[in-house]
Structure 1
Amino acid sequence: MAIQLGSLLFGLVLVIGFSLQSSEAATDPPVVCDTINRTNFETGFIFGAASAAYQYEGAVQEDGRGPSIWDNYTHQYPERIKDWSNADVTVDQYHRYKEDVEILNDTRLDAYRFSISWSRVLPNGTLSGGVNEAGIEYYNKLINKTLEKGLKPYVTIFHWDLPQALEEEYGGFLSFRIVEYANLCFERFGDRVKYWITLNEPYAYSVKGYALGTFALGRCSDWQQLNCTGGNSSIEPYLVTHHLLLAHATTVDLYKTTYQVRFMDPITSGHYPHSMQVLVGHRLPKFKEEDSKLLAGSFDFLGLNYYTTYYASYAYHNNSVNASYITDARVNQSPELNGVPIGPQKKYDSPLIYITENGVDELNDPTLSLEQALNDTVRKDYYHDHLCYVQAAIK
């Protein structure tokens, strides 16, 4: 059940794709759509586009912005990025946000989801380290331009770009601090932003950054031989997950009390799943009673970053040797079967859901002409089929 906080809604973006037990695979016949257009969707359906500060803004050394862990990671370990690139410029939204919002408006979208760069507004990560008013001004202008064009801003508070200063000071989310930053966002932007997303894909942040070493900070256990920067894949992902959940709950509680007088089970029940407690044992951090109370029901909607479906089956693993977050789940996953996602609706009492990301990438081929590149049937078919199934799910 969604709980509305006045005119404001809180969400948590949880997953990249759905994982279904193979025994639960949907057997419904394929849905066929002859045509897809806006009139096929009921009034109130929201079409939008999404971005993230580090991936879009550029201007990493302009107007007082401090470095994030991703700036440090891509410059210190450029070989870990496939093409040795970084996000120093990207699509330069910091300078071209007006053009971008105009494009969104011309496309007749209803909403724009973007994130705030923590290190752009708090270069050193904390209020005591100083507020960067130039960064505040940029987001004020972006929010105002979005509203001016009739678009609803959906704002992500944390999209992986932790200030490097906090990582160096106390290990980032291996420790626990976020409230000052969230409070600043509410204080400066909350009069216009009514849809807040606390965390983007905490699973990806904790697993890829601390168990696989493929995201900043690039940490994992030595035995995995993945050329990581240090770490412990059997413990650190759980600590980061734990602190992310507490940060989420504390942030929501901050708004409720100050301004309004594995991830799903904790925020619905206040506890980790029983199977997770059994498999992970003493390595899984424990919630205090007051933490469980804060977590239970600490969302108004769920943001699903939905790209594809994976089917899962049991995989044996002996955790007494080389324990890791990755093997603790005891699961094999396969993307090769087609089906209808059934998990959140069935298990968590039909929560309010926004699809906060959706899409398909394609390998860059610089040899293609513009005409050939625009003949992008892969992505056209992808969006057509997904919208077709979304339409069927609504009905």
Structure 2
Amino acid sequence: MIIQQVEGAADEDGRTPSIWDVFAHAGHSRVAAGNVACDQYHKYKEDVKLMADMGLEAYRFSISWSRLLPSGRGPINPKGLQYYNNLIDELTTHGIQPHVTLHHFDLPQALEDEYGGWISQEIVRDFTAYADTCFKEFGDRVSHWTTINEVNVFALGGYDQGITPPARCSPPFGLNCTNGNSSIEPYIAVHNMLLAHASATNLYKQQYKFKQHGSVGISVYTYGVVPLTNSVEDKQATARVNDFYIGWILHPLVFGDYPETMKTNVGSRLPAFTEEESEQVKGAFDFFGVINYMALYVKDNSSSLKPHFQDFTTDMAVEMTLFGNTSLENEFANTPWSLQQILLYIKETYRNPPVYILENGQMTPHRSSLEDTTRVKYLSSYIEAVLHSIRKGSNVKGYFQWSLMDVFELFGGYEKSFGLFYVDFKDPYLKRSPKLSAHWYSSFLMGTLHHQSHDSV
């Protein structure tokens, strides 16, 4: 969870703006800026107690790069260091493993201004130095590191569609575009993220792993995918979706290069790895993080492969529609098979790497009932799907439900809810109240859950 979602205290104790702060305050976002969010910066002890009382074994959170290193590099902010030490110590004191993400849509604005952030290879040096600082300061207590969250979504939202920071895009693909190139920049940004991830991971392996015994991974957003028809074309299109969404990130890390379908369809706009870069990237992971919420129907759209006006979607040459619900304004369709499909696909395609499900959960309107039976049914069925995947040989190491409490959602602000705990954002104390799903999840974790059918939940 990024600072805008949970941590809050956006302008306190020496923290400087990230690209998300600037994006939200400039009016790009259709939702409010998360300056306060859940205010975990001041309420972390209360929140850790909630976790401990529930029986949570691990908690996933992000470090705000611009809170720890306000200039993006150089001197550490003592108050930022103190906060993360306090949070990590509180977690470990209660027997809760910290799983830390280093970058979650929140590059320091200083680096974006200086050289363009992720579209410059200068970022590799600065990200590696930032990761080095985190490994050095927190690695004695943190054993699980995710370098970059949702690499694919960050690149597409920020450099193709312009709907997330840094809001770079070009017509006709993006919204209100003023800077950027949707045809090229998403591929450049991902290339640099892969190089930065590999650099940080290899640094950890060389300098820290032997004494800290931790692991480093990267996370990717996934969809379960189904051909719209039984035609050969739709089946091939479905395979392309997996190559473009999953293979874009995982294929270089496992095999040292991008999938052939991407190289063919994107052509010279897809950066090429040098022989040295390929060697650095290949094998630079200890685990992959999977994020999954929903499934899609896929239809071939090869006619979109034209020499002009190309972006990621036209390169992929498909049409995609949501499975079940037709609008993201609704709850997600309950499709647990989609997560199992993804886990087994990764097992079979990418040599069965260790996998953590880093996000999975059900969306509801924020002010809906605390009796969130649809969330309970969703979680129950998806956790069961994870179990089936493990029985089929998937190397799943852990599961994180999104989210512990209602947070500032990146695409829904305070109107959409994923939390096990309701947060009253109109209450000056931001009171947390457990939903039915919190009680169910706690019972599940503690082994006291009474077996019952989904219909009776």
Specify the TM-score bucket, using the shorter chain as the normaliser: 0.7 to 0.9
2:365 aligned counterpart, secondary structure: coil
Partner of 2:156: 207
The residue aligned with 2:55 is 108
Q: 1:313, 1:133 → 2: CA distance? A: 53
Inter-partner Cα distance in structure 1 for 2:345 and 2:177: 33
1:241 aligns with 2:190: yes
- 1:125 is aligned to 72
1:268 aligns with 2:254: yes
* 1:86-235 paired onto structure 2 within 5 Å: 86-127=33-74, 130-176=75-121, 177=123, 178-224=127-173, 226-235=175-184
Give yes or no for contact 2:290–2:357 (8 Å, CA) kept in 1. yes
- Please say which of residues 250-259 and 57-66 is displaced more in the overlay: 250-259
Structure 2: unaligned runs, 5 residues or longer = 211-247, 325-334, 392-457
Preserved CA contact (<8 Å) 2:2 2:106: no
2:357 — aligned with what? Answer: 355
Deviations 1:6-60 (A, max 9, x none): xxxxxxxxxxxxxxxxxxxxxxxxxxxxxxxxxxxxxxxxxxxxx3333111101
SS in 1 for 2:206: helix
**Identity, % of aligned pairs?**
43
Q: Which has the higher contact order (CA 8 A, sep 6+)?
A: 1
Structure 2 Cα separation of the partners of residues 291 and 68 of structure 1: 29
| Counterpart in the other structure of 1:75 | 25
* Contact 2:72–2:111 under 8 Å retained in 1: yes
Tell me which residue corresponds to 1:6: none
Report the RMSD for the aligned CA atoms in angstroms. Answer: 1.5
- Bigger drift between 324-333 and 200-209 goes to 324-333
Amino acid at match of 2:353: P
**SS in structure 1 of the partner of residue 364 of structure 2:** coil
Residues 209-264 of structure 1 deviation map (CA, whole Å, 9 limit, x = unaligned): 11011111112112236212321110000010000000000001111222247101
| Correspondence for 1:322 | 309
Q: Distance in 2 between matches of 1:239 and 1:390?
A: 34
CA contact (8 A) 1:217 1:229 kept: no
Q: What is the CA distance between 1:266 and its match in structure 2? A: 0.3
Instruction: For residues 342-379 of structure 1, give each alpha carbon's deviation from its aligned partner in whole angstroms, at most 9, with x where no partner exists.
Output: 321111121111111111221234xx6xxxx1121221
C-alpha distance in 2, partners of 1:377/1:228?
41
**SS of alignment partner, residue 293 of structure 2:** coil
AA aligned opposite 1:158? H
More displaced stretch, 244-253 vs 302-311: 302-311
Secondary structure of 1:222's aligned partner? coil
**Contact between 1:211 and 1:326, CA under 8 Å: does it hold in 2?**
no
Instruction: Name the residue aligned to 1:303.
Output: 289
Moved more, 52-61 or 114-123: 52-61
Distance 2:321 2:173 in 1: 22
- Number of aligned residue pairs: give it: 334
Offset of residue 318 of structure 1:
3.0
Q: Structure 2 counterpart of 1:75, which letter?
A: H
Once structures 1 and 2 are overlaid, which stretch shifts more, 253-262 or 213-222?
253-262
Aligned residue in 2 for 1:344: 346
Normalising by structure 2, we get a TM-score of: 0.71
CA distance in 2, matches of 1:300, 1:353: 9
1:55 aligns with 2:5: yes
Aligned residue number for residue 332 of structure 1:
319
Cα distance in structure 1, aligned partners of 2:306 and 2:4 = 36
Task: Tell me the distance in 2 between the aligned counterparts of 1:264 and 1:225.
Answer: 26
The one-letter amino acid of 2:252's match is P
Alignment partner of 1:334: what SS? strand
Structure 1 residue matching 2:82: 3-state secondary structure: helix
Deviation track 1:77-125 (CA, whole Å, cap 9, x = no partner) reads: 2xx433x411100000000011111111111011001110000001110
Name the structure 2 match of 1:283. Answer: 269
In structure 2, the CA distance between the partners of 1:52 and 1:299, relative to structure 1 (3 Å rule), is: same
How far apart are 1:309 and its partner, in Å?
A: 2.5
User: What are the equivalent positions in structure 2 for 1:252-267 lying under 5 Å apart?
Assistant: 252-260=201-209, 262-267=248-253
Inter-partner Cα distance in structure 2 for 1:328 and 1:350: 28
Q: What TM-score do the two structures reach when normalised by structure 1?
A: 0.81
Counterpart residue type for residue 310 of structure 1: L
Q: Deviations over 1:294-345 (max 9, x none)?
A: 1111111111112122343421113312111221111222332754413211
> Are the aligned partners of 2:4 and 2:36 in contact in 1 as well (CA < 8 Å)?
no
Say whether the 8 Å CA contact 1:69–1:161 is kept in structure 2. yes
Amino acid at match of 1:333: M
Whether contact under 8 Å (1:54, 1:117) holds in the other structure is: no
Quick one: distance in 2 between partners of 1:324 and 1:391?
37
**Quick one: distance in 2 between partners of 1:244 and 1:137?**
28
Partners of 1:260 and 1:200 in 2: CA distance = 21
1:25 maps to none
8 Å contact 2:60–2:99 — kept in the other structure? yes
Query: What amino acid is aligned across from residue 323 of structure 2 in structure 1?
Result: E
Give deviations 1:115-164, integer Å, cap 9, x for gaps: 1000000111011xx21011011000100000000011111111110000
SS at match of 1:99: helix
Distance 1:336 1:85 in 2: 29
Q: For residues 289 and 208 of structure 2, what CA distance do their matches in structure 1 show?
A: 23
2:388 — aligned with what? 392
1:306 is paired with a residue whose SS is strand
1:18-57 counterparts in 2 under 5 A? 51-57=1-7
Cα separation, 2, equivalents of 1:158 and 1:224: 25
Aligned partners of 1:150, 1:329: CA distance in 2, in Å? 45
Could you tell me which runs of 5 or more consecutive residues in structure 1 were left unpaired when the two chains were aligned.
1-50
